[in-house]
Amino acid sequence: MTIDKAKVALGFIVAGALTLVFGGISVLMGPTVMTDQVIKNTVIDPKNEMSYTMWRDVPVPFFMSVYFFHVLNPKEILAGEKPMVEQRGPYVYRKRIQKDNITFHPNSTVSYKEYRSYYFEPSMSVGNESDVLTIPNMLVLGAAVMLESLSVPVRMIISMAFKTFDEGPFLTKTVGELMWGYDSKLVNFLNKYLPGMLPSSGKFGLFSEFNNSDTGLFTIHTGKDDIRNVHKVVSWNGLTELSYWRTPQCNMINGTAGQMWPPFMTEESTLPFYSPDACRSLELVYQRSGKMKGIPLYRFVAPKTLFANGTDYSPNEGFCPCRQSGLLNVSSCRQNSPVFISHPHFFNADPVLLDYVHGLSPNEEDHGLFIDIHPLTGVPLNVSIRLQLNLYMKRVRGITETGKISEVVMPMLWFEERGYIDGPILNTFHTNLVVLPAVMEYMQYGMIALGLATIIIAAFVRYRFKRQVEIDTFSSTVFENGVRKSLNI
């Protein structure tokens, strides 16, 4: 019976050793298996049903919130006084994104067009699209700056044309008209006799060219040949570089299309992406790590150099002619209109810009932009892109509509495009990328612990059995010897 127990203990030792070895192999091979799974599921491939559907249809709810700077003192501005503005909003629109014309190529790339449309959300807005606001008239004040180089007599004729078409220096229109377009006799005249001068051939609105439109033909890497290149842009509208800017570096099309990035990010990683709306590539930098409902993330933000001028940051010299730091001159890709992009309320910009306008109060929480990325997969969890549209305006001799306007970069509106993973997608994400890896890790180390415990306990039991056998054998021998001696006496 004792020998049987020893064999059983030996069997447990062997089983424990096998469990320990298997657990050790799992610990060593686990990261490799996880890496292979991430690569397999992040390649752009229709066979990857979940990730491909997320890339194609972007099921995450996206919203655009628009804040207008309502002008409080238009008459005083024309007299040379400092502008006073009041932020109105948000006016919130649900953004629908869908890719179409998807074509895969033999060289591990895919081409597509991404279509976008906007739908007003009254329940999320502070008012309705019928709200009336006053902002600078880009058609008049923008054109005045654009035509400043012409002779005074020509400028006077242009000023008469503005009066003929009833176009003044400021617009008082509804939110819907400012956003998506309004009828303008001047716009109709220009589109008829000077086609191509304006970005839109229909009604004139600040976002008229955005709604029911596409962002151009993108060709990107699928990651099939090298996962480090997945989502990176190969070309946009057939171009591998731009022609808007003054240096090859500024004309480069870098990074992804701005929706996903390659996996396996570190704190040294950056988020480069090309934005057709900004007419350039942008790059965000790591700020901190964190968690979103248990999912680990890296937060990336805009560096202060993003919109710095060429004096403060020499690589940006190619985006000039520049004004103060914090302003991106996009006139070269906006029909030479004197339009500048910045962070809202001139956040991270030269403080002098705040001295020219009353009513601005920048802070990082409300006006900084960020993207929260799941570093293992490169999938954004929470996105908030905030940008401001500004008009450079000044007095131009011969164009009486400009009055005595002081030279100023005038904020017109800012908008936030925001989206975050939630609902069933978040639950699936959490299960596959947090729960299952954690369970696997616990099982791996649990198997190692179980194997060690089994070996130790079984070895101890076997040792006790062997000791007991030795003691019993010794006792039996002593007893037998004693009996023999007794009999011999």
Please state, in angstroms and rounded to a whole number, the distance separating the CA atoms of residues 25 and 39: 21
Please tell me which residue, 107 or 332, carries the higher pLDDT value. Answer: 107
* pTM (predicted TM-score): 0.84
- What is the Cα–Cα distance from 283 to 187, expressed in whole angstroms? 36
Asked, for residue 56, whether it belongs to a domain, the answer is: no
Same domain for 252 and 344, yes or no, is yes
- Shared domain check, 18 and 123: no
Asked if 160 and 235 sit in the same domain, the reply is: yes
**Residue 150 located in a structural domain:** yes
pLDDT bucket at 471, cuts 50 / 70 / 90 = low
Residue 33 binned pLDDT confidence (cut-offs 50, 70, 90): low
Q: How far apart are CA 122 and CA 463, in angstroms?
A: 78
Q: What is the mean pLDDT of residues 21-42?
A: 66
Give residue 390's pLDDT band: very low, low, confident or very high (50, 70, 90).
Answer: very high
**φ/ψ (deg, to 5) at 425:** -65, -45
Alpha-carbon distance of 369 to 181, in angstroms, equals: 28
- For residues 448 and 412, membership in a common domain is answered with no
Choose among 78, 52, 32, 40: nearest CA to 395.
78
Distance from C-alpha of 122 to C-alpha of 171, rounded to nearest angstrom? 24
* Cβ 230 vs Cβ 42: under 8 Å: yes
Quote helix, strand, coil % in the chain, to nearest 5.
40, 30, 35
CA angle, corner 197, sides to 321 and 327, nearest 5? Answer: 25
Residues 312 and 247 in one domain: yes
Domain presence at residue 328: yes
261 and 188 in one domain?
Answer: yes
* Residue 270 and residue 145 in one domain: yes
Taking a C-beta distance cutoff of 8 angstroms, is the pair 262, 229 a contact? yes
Share of the chain above pLDDT 90, in %: 57
Residues 330, 190, single domain; the answer is yes
**392, 479: one domain:** no
Assess if residue 44 is contained within a domain: no
Q: How far apart are CA 281 and CA 314, in angstroms?
A: 16
Does residue 52 lie in a domain region?
A: no
Residue length, the chain? 489
What is the domain extent for residue 472? Answer: 5-39+440-487
DSSP output for 37-88: HHHHHHS--TTSHHHHHHHHH--S-EEEEEEEEEES-HHHHHTTPPPBEEEE
Q: Is 328 exposed, middle or buried (0-12, 13-18, 19+ CB in 10 A)?
A: buried
Q: How many domains does the chain have?
A: 2
Q: Are residues 226 and 354 in the same domain?
A: yes
- Same domain? For 404 and 349 the reply is yes
Q: Is 258 within 8 Å of 280 (Cβ atoms)? A: no
Q: Is residue 50 part of a domain?
A: no
Q: Quick check: is 139 in a domain?
A: yes
Q: 428: how many CB neighbours lie within 10 A of its CB? A: 13
Q: Give the tens place of pLDDT for each residue, 394-411.
A: 999 999 999 999 999 999
Residues 187 and 253 in one domain: yes
Q: Is the pLDDT of residue 26 over 70?
A: no
Instruction: Report the DSSP beta bridge partners of residue 292.
Output: 295
Q: Is there a domain that residue 398 lies in?
A: yes
- Cβ count near 152 (within 10 Å): 11
pLDDT at 1: 45
